[in-house]
Amino acid sequence: MRARAGALVVVVLFAATGCGDADDDRRLTNKQEALVEAQAELAEQVAAFCGAGSSYVTALDRYGDLMNATATTVGDVKDAGADLAEPRGDVADAAEGVARARDAVTVAEKELAEARAGASLSPAASPLNTPSVQASVSGTAVSRVRQADTDFTAAQQGITDKTPLRQASEQFNAAAVALEMSWLSLLTEGGCLSEDQRGRARDYTLAVQKSLAQAGYYQKEVDGVYGPTTVAAVQELQKAHGLPVTGTVDKATDAALQDDLRAKGGAAADEVIASTAAVQQTLKLAGFWDGPVDGRWTDELTSAVMRFQESLGVEPTGAVDAATVAAVEKALASPSPSSPAVSRS
């Protein structure tokens, strides 16, 4: 009888132990699944943020060429940006969604770690594969966006009916470009830009650095990274010409840089003149330019480039960017009755 009682105790203990292990494994599996769900939600929120951020940058970009496109009075500049309120609100809401989702992932990761620590792992409770989410941006990038947004609002509020039109345009354009660049930097860190978009941004920065180096403002490696050294070089250029010191290349800053390159003479000046003359010649052949082919970039030439870009179906930035070049190459490769009259010569 005593032997049978002992055996019963062993069976009961074994059953209790087995039940505890099963509960631990179930709890561990539940925590793993909770983490997967949290990470999936984070990925969804990041995608929403990328979409909202891209829409906001597109809205901002319209003001990079505000004066060439639509505005003719100081009042136009004062009222400009009113349509930014909705996309700005959308991107702010999306950013909060990312923050909440990231906090949820942190909690899920902590709870999973605690469950693993208290469980005896069995093959059935092995860790699940969880999606990797690139949703991290630096505090510096966020701070730059906040500061640029503050500067943009201040520039807009600082323009009155008595502000000269040229000054109003210069201040507003500088602030808009700085805000757009800060957002592009944040979206880049957040993994929101495509490979093609990152490539175009790098090509743009390489061109800026090369011109700054030729003009004597940039002495470091031309690496395509718009970092602190490039920002400092642009700021020196802006200070030298009495422009708003933003560290980003707006229209007035670009014009000042081209003037410096021409003044330098030699190969740098020849390259600028030849490049501008080539643009003028192309636009003339395409029927968008009736001015001289003299290698001088003017506001009228910028307007002509924008009209040309609209005919090609690309964003009318007023600058000969990679998208414009690609559109011209496509038109050359497959001409049609509706294509602009672009010549290879």
Q: What is the pLDDT of residues 230-285, one digit of tens each?
A: 999 999 999 999 998 989 888 888 889 988 888 876 566 566 666 777 888 888 88
Residue ranges of the chain assigned to CATH 1.10.101.10: 201-263
pTM: 0.61
CATH 1.10.101.10 fits 201-263, yes or no: yes
pLDDT at 67: 41
CA 118 to chain centre: 44
Start-to-end C-alpha separation, the chain: 109
Within a 13 Å sphere around the CA of 1, how many CA atoms are in the beta-carbon half? 0
- Residue position matching structure tokens 């403002």: 217
pLDDT at 127: 41
Distance CA 137, CA 262 (A): 40
The answer to whether residues 251 and 297 touch, using CB atoms and an 8 Å cutoff, is no
Residues of the chain with pLDDT under 70: 1-21, 64-81, 119-137, 265-274, 321-323, 329, 331-345
Distance CA 175, CA 178 (A): 5
Q: What percent of the chain has pLDDT over 90?
A: 11
Distance CA 250, CA 244 (A): 10
pLDDT at 268: 60
Exposed, middle or buried, 292 (CB in 10 Å: 0-12/13-18/19+)?
exposed
pLDDT at 13: 38
pLDDT at 230: 92
